[in-house]
Chain A
Amino acid sequence: MSKARVLSAGGAIPVLLGPAWAHARAFYDFQAPVTPIARDILFIHDLFLVIITALFLIGTGTLLYSVYAHRYRRNGIPATFTGPVGRKQWFWASFPFAVLLVLDYGVLGIPALHSILALANTSGSAMTVKVTGHQWNWQYEYPAYGIGFTSTLSTPQDQIADEAPKDKHFLLEVDHPLVLPTHEKIRIILASADVIHAFWVPAFGIKQDAVPGYLRQTWVEIDKPGTYRGQCAELCGVGHAFMPIVVRAVDQVAFNQWLSREQAVAAAQRAASGIAYTRGQLVTAGRKVFDAYCAACHQPNGLGLAGAFPPIAGGHPFAAAAPMIAALRARGFYRAGDIVVGPIANHIRIVLHGIPGTPMPSFASQLSAADIAAVITYERNDFGNHTGETVEPSQVLAIKTGH
């Protein structure tokens, strides 16, 4: 390898690292980091880029030189050696591997060990947030404050269907972002209600799987207020691309104000379960709930997907695996090959508890009694169903609490 090549590889280092130190996002850098872990990982990333770029240039440079210098027309008589001969050649043949070991376990290994241990240390946190992955939304709970809510994609269907211009945060906007205080170490506990999801916010440098049956944990300490966006990073079914994560980081004062507002909203919601609504109010509210929670499987038109997800619309034929058909028939929603609108009590139980053994999940923890009453009223009075019935939150609450 020539001296000039060493110099040019060395010259690449400040060029590559400069922008990273300035915290601007270059095309080869991650989103601007706002946590200690994300900064560590960005440092490792830039270090890697320099090292692998240098190794690539050395390797490809050597190969291209050989292709140029040792081609038949220039070097008609090939050499015949088949390996290193003598101590000197063995030394130089071993030298690259010694360098590689130092790069692996020293230059790259030591920062990696440091970050792995830092990442695993969730102790000394000021607050815990529980994040639960659902097909296909995220549920956030603040156990110490008694509040929790579900965060669902809010990009309108017509933008996804390309019938309206897409806005700036297409597919990265939610109805209810996770709100976290800055400059506090926050422990994030991860769980899943159905399949494996992964909670990933690039600006925080964390990606942690949410595995059913386990509680996983990670942590963040955000040092800059702002809105940070991420996505689910483990294939979790048809809605995998449509369950973004939006985190709003605010200072401690704003966070406390937000907390008291949320606590007031939660109290009002509990009270709302006792109020009686008109059918019109319930249908309007129910349409929103349906689009956010049900349409991914049962489709916006309520016709479901053949063989997988039954239609909401009564009178439509449906065929699927035997356990699903048996479950639907037992609950009064299936007769002679067709979906029918079954009894209200069973309808409420299906939404509340799901149907075990089928993809239908339980919504008891995600939706309030008022939401469930609204969506059921909507389902029974739209999609060609004309039952004229109204389901009140008190009915849902009665079944939920077993009265």
Chain B
Amino acid sequence: MSAIEHPADAPPSGITRWLYATNHKDIGKMYLVFGIAMFLVGGLLAELIRAELLTPTMRVLSPEAYNQVITVHGLVMVFGALMPITAGLANYLIPMMIGAPDMALPRLNNWGFWLLPPAALLLVMPWGLKLIGIGNGTLDTGWTMYAPLSIQSGPGADFAFIAVLLLGLSSTMASINIIVTILNQRAPGMTMLKVPVFVWSWLITALLLVAVFPALMAGVIMLIGDRHFGTHFFSAAGGGDPVLWEHIFWFFGHPEVYVLLLPSAGILPHILATFARKPIYGYKAQVYSFCVIGVLSIVVWAHHMFTSGMPPAANIYFMLSTMAISVPVAVLFFCWFGTVWRGAMTFETPMLFALGYIVLFGIGGLTGLVLSDAAADQQYHNTYFLVAHFHYALFGGPVMGVIAGIYYYLPKVTGRMYSETLGRWHFWLTLIAFNVTFIPQFLAGIAGMPRRIPDYALQFWHFNLVSSVGAFVLGASQLLLVYNIVRAMRGDGEQASGRVWEGARGLEFTLPSPPPFHTFTTPPVIE
């Protein structure tokens, strides 16, 4: 099972290695670098938002620019940062975890990645055009693109819609590739219930993406029709229905939350088991939970629309079905606790982020239960309570999870250990600054502050002041992660062993660090 190396196996040199890349490790690395770069762009936009909200007056951004910044912050973080980072981990790890030589469809893999940079460019290009006097900037409707506001919006909206179409094509291709790879490329003897949890989480994620992204793409094409081709899908004046857009968007948008969540929930048990030096607790329960979450996530979308005026029967259905999600998610928590219980834990940086994930995502999940209440949602909906909730659910969960994953696999990918001291600083600064940023937002929302406003009444000032200070520290501390990654990529730091961590299990840890360009060209023997 050791990798066979001969000259033809060596990576091509120069720019063509990356432009024409078909190797899953190269494509995985490109996804990761792209995703982390976009994480910094999205973070910078978040800092602009917090700078604007530091005091109750408009100093930094005009209302128009503010609406554009919140929109692009949302789109970049969801589609530009988190999805590519998780897709990068999938590309790099899945073939090695299941003992396959590569992804099933390497050229599709290349195409899927190379659609991302143009999409990102389209999102921000309208700002560049505005600087030279063309148009009025980018999309300004919030990432939800609610019609008819998005029909009314300036030409920047068209750029954003084309970007969403490209992103949709990209993730659909990546998802098909992942599904085919998992179903067909497993090493002999690796039955579906021996497949690592991370691989299972991505199988469900990919199935969800294939199921729901086409709905958003169709919706966006309908929006483009309404804007330019005289159709009236969403404009009431022509007999269209603005609420239809909300249904289409959230039919995609709610499963999208689980698309972001599941890969990080899949990587978590690996990390917990490694540093607790124990096997994963409740493997089957987690796999079945992923399946149940996947199915439920498709049938709960309108809990984002409790104030849109649906009849009470619909509100009750969407409330009760949403509450049902708490059960499989609680099973995951139970299994995470079971994995560390009576283990022999050490607290390296990946483990710290994994434990932080459990606590912060716990808050995101519990406040999600609060928001599932269709009556009480009259008070929570579109307030800063909601903003704080989904940042706990999406930063506290997926972002903490992928950071844990990055620290966990960085020595495997680069062959170099990161700086443990800086990693710990990164964790503690992130944990504290994150809570300083978002706990005040819960309170601001409860006190009555709506979201997506560039200026606010005086009684919300102190919440926002504390939140902004927290956000500045939170943003700055992410540079420690960047430094750690760059340091390892440059080949500084201790040499990592093949196993990397004392408690690590799995096929990827049977290979040297970094793994050779081609691995498992001869399938490994399972058990």
What residues make up the interface of A, taking CB atoms closer than 8 Å to B? 27-31, 37, 40-41, 44-45, 48, 52, 55-56, 59-60, 62-63, 66-67, 70-72, 75-83, 93, 96-97, 100-101, 104-105, 108-109, 111-113, 115-117, 119-120, 160-162, 166, 168-172, 190, 194-196, 198, 200, 202, 205-209, 211-214, 216-217, 229-242, 305-308, 319, 321, 359
Contacts and interface: CB of A to CB of B under 8 A. Distances in A.
A93 B369 CA distance: 21
A239 B63 contact: yes
Interface in B449-485: 450, 452-458
Interface stretch (B173-181, B235-243, B291-299, B424-432): B235-243
6 shortest interchain CB distances as A-B pairs: A213-B236, A115-B375, A241-B453, A307-B136, A216-B309, A79-B342
Nearest to B363: A56
Contact of A96 (B134, B316, B330, B363): B330
B315 interface: yes
B344 A120 contact: no
Contacts of A169: 457
Contacts of B457: 169-172, 229
Given A44-B376, A96-B330, 10 more contacts: A63-B358, A70-B343, A79-B278, A93-B334, A109-B320, A170-B457, A202-B379, A213-B240, A231-B450, A233-B450
Contact of B67 (A28, A162, A190, A235): A235
Contacts of B154: 307-308, 321
B455 A202 contact: no
B446 interface: yes
B320 A213 contact: no
A71 B344 contact: yes
B111 interface: no
Nearest to B452: A235
A214 B279 contact: no
Contact of A79 (B130, B343, B383): B343
Contacts of B67: 235, 237-238, 240
Contact of B146 (A70, A105, A232, A234): A234
Interface stretch (B217-225, B258-266, B280-288, B410-418): B280-288
B189 interface: no
A305 B64 CA distance: 10
Contacts of B25: none
B7 interface: no
Nearest to A25: B447
29 contacts: A28-B443, A45-B370, A60-B359, A63-B337, A63-B358, A70-B344, A77-B344, A80-B278, A82-B280, A97-B330, A100-B330, A104-B327, A109-B319, A115-B376, A170-B457, A196-B242, A212-B236, A212-B242, A213-B236, A213-B237, A213-B240, A213-B241, A230-B448, A231-B448, A235-B67, A240-B67, A241-B453, A241-B454, A308-B154
A96 B359 CA distance: 18
Interface centre among B331, B355, B453 (most CB of A within 10 A): B453
B390 to A, nearest CB: 15
B51 to A, nearest CB: 15
Contacts of B280: 82
A116 B307 contact: no
Interface in B55-80: 56-59, 62-64, 67
Contacts of A214: 236, 243, 309
Given A120-B311, A238-B67, A241-B456, A112 B276 contact: no
A97 B282 CA distance: 15
Nearest to A215: B309
B155 interface: yes
A64 to B, nearest CB: 9
A235 B149 contact: yes
A72 B326 contact: no
B378 to A, nearest CB: 5
A67 B345 contact: yes
A253 to B, nearest CB: 30
Contacts of B59: 162
Interface centre among A40, A120, A232 (most CB of B within 10 A): A120
B37 interface: no
B181 to A, nearest CB: 27
A126 B391 CA distance: 43
B76 to A, nearest CB: 18
A37 B283 contact: no
B349 interface: no
Contact of B319 (A31, A112, A196, A236): A112
Interface of B: 56-59, 62-64, 67, 130, 133-136, 140-142, 146, 148-149, 152, 154-155, 235-237, 240-243, 276-285, 307-309, 311-312, 315-316, 319-320, 323-324, 326-327, 330-331, 333-334, 337-338, 340-347, 355, 358-359, 362-363, 366-367, 369-370, 373-376, 378-379, 381-383, 443, 446-448, 450, 452-458
A44 B448 contact: no
A52 B56 contact: no
A70 B345 contact: yes
B375 A55 contact: no
A37 B455 CA distance: 29
A316 to B, nearest CB: 13
Interface centre among A70, A161, A229 (most CB of B within 10 A): A70
B149 A41 contact: no
Nearest to A299: B62
Nearest to B382: A233
A217 B142 CA distance: 26
B133 A82 contact: no
A111 to B, nearest CB: 8
Contacts of B135: 307
Given A162-B59, A307-B155, A72 B344 contact: yes
Contacts of B347: 67, 71
Interface centre among B146, B280, B311, B457 (most CB of A within 10 A): B457
A70 B149 CA distance: 54
A229 B134 CA distance: 40
Contacts of B326: 100, 104
A202 B448 contact: yes
A208 B381 CA distance: 10
Given A41-B376, A211-B308, A241-B456, A70 B366 contact: no
Contacts of A115: 375-376
Contacts of B56: 166, 170-171
Contacts of B276: 70, 78
B136 A70 contact: no
Nearest to B316: A116
B355 A67 contact: yes
B281 A83 contact: yes
A295 B334 CA distance: 56
Given A71-B344, A97-B327, A238-B63, A31 B307 contact: no
A372 B130 CA distance: 33
A202 B445 CA distance: 10
Contact of B307 (A77, A172, A198, A308): A198
B337 A62 contact: yes
Nearest to B149: A195
Contacts of B376: 41, 44-45, 48, 112, 115
A82 B458 contact: no
Contact of A44 (B237, B283, B375): B375
Contact of A160 (B319, B359, B455): B455
A403 to B, nearest CB: 27
Contacts of B375: 37, 40-41, 44, 111-112, 115-116, 119
Contacts of B241: 213
B344 A306 contact: no
A207 B378 CA distance: 5
Contacts of B323: 104-105, 108-109
A200 B445 CA distance: 13
B243 A211 contact: yes
A109 B318 CA distance: 12
